[in-house]
Amino acid sequence: MHPARTQAPAVPARGAWGVVKAYIGLTKPRIIELLLVTTIPAMFLAAGGFPPVGLVVITFVGGTLSAASANVFNSIMDADIDEQMRRTRRRPMVREQVSKPAAYLYGVVLGVVSTLMLGLGANWLAAALSVVAILYYVFIYTLWLKRRTAQNIVWGGVAGCFPPLIGWTAVTGAVAWPPIILFLIVFFWTPPHTWALALRYRDDYAQVDVPMLPVVREAPYVARHIVAYSVATVVTSLALWPVAGTGWLYPLVAGVAGGWLVWESVALLRRAHAGLRDAALAPMKLFHWSNSYLSLVFIAAAIDPLLF
């Protein structure tokens, strides 16, 4: 039986800067940073070197606004569960710092501006992929999968895989195998990254009836799946080497960083089998390393064509 849920008090935004911070907070900028780490390197790989600076700026800004739009809608629709979770209870919609109509309008404007920017500044294929990513995140993940299935983050995470495709198509105007490999790297990386966080905040997700895998299954089961997806991530990352014809830097970085990702995943599995309680698993070490892993692999993919 879940504890009684209490409504968090409204905390109005104070002053012009307070309002600006509230609107920025709706976009979840820390999540956007990670998405852009996978967009810009894909552009370097597609160009085989330095892409046009203007195109990079357009794609960077357009991609930022696109991700911001999706996150604003997610903030609105998840306000009820954000209110009950320690990690999210200070978000702007929970504290009523932005009204719901204003937030909806904000999300629409961001989406329209991002689409026009990518379509006119890059090409309409990149813009279309951006729109698909927004719609997928809002309707497939947030409204359908998140509260209904333990596989929510596996298939809902597809929305976060679009940035490499958008970056590549912004340069080339077409989809090819290398960006599909980059897409799959993010696809396999997302579950262990998110499940590690969910292990840490398992009680929060259970309280709001979100069936994340660590909520519905025991820690050893979750850890085994984290190991499996981590291995799949590393194998997929190494497939980019022959597919994109990279030099030695990329496979070296992908191999070393991937080996460490698997090592941390196996360490988590060992602790789970040792019978420790979920709270003692220290999954945040894996969570933080997974962020670094993704950044290292994609940065290596960007630098490699500059050297070879």
CB of 145 closer than 8 Å to CB of 151 = yes
Q: How many CB atoms lie within 10 A of CB 186?
A: 25
Which residues contact residue 69 at a Cβ distance below 8 angstroms, ignoring those fewer than 6 apart? 107, 108, 110, 111, 114, 134
Q: Which residue has the tokens 């810009």?
A: 40
Largest CA distance in the chain: 60
Domain borders along the chain are: 17-174, 176-308
Q: 21-41 burial, b if ≥16 CB within 10 A, otherwise e?
A: ebbebbbbeeebebbbbbbbb
Give the sign of the dihedral formed by CA 9, CA 13, CA 18, CA 21: positive
For domain 176-308, is the CATH number 1.20.120?
yes
| Domain 17-174: assigned CATH number | 1.10.357.140
- Residue 216: which H helix or E strand, with range? helix 213-216
pLDDT tens track of the chain, all 308 residues? 444 445 555 666 667 888 899 999 999 998 888 888 999 999 999 999 999 999 999 999 999 999 999 999 999 999 999 999 888 888 999 998 999 999 999 999 999 999 999 999 999 999 999 999 999 999 999 999 999 999 999 999 999 999 999 999 999 999 999 999 999 999 999 999 999 999 988 989 999 999 999 999 999 999 999 999 999 999 999 999 999 999 999 999 999 999 999 999 999 999 888 876 545 556 888 999 999 999 999 999 999 999 98
| Rounded Cα gap, residues 239 and 254, in angstroms | 10
What angle (nearest 5°) sits at the alpha carbon of residue 189, between those of residues 41 and 199? 135
- C-alpha 237 chain-centroid distance: 17
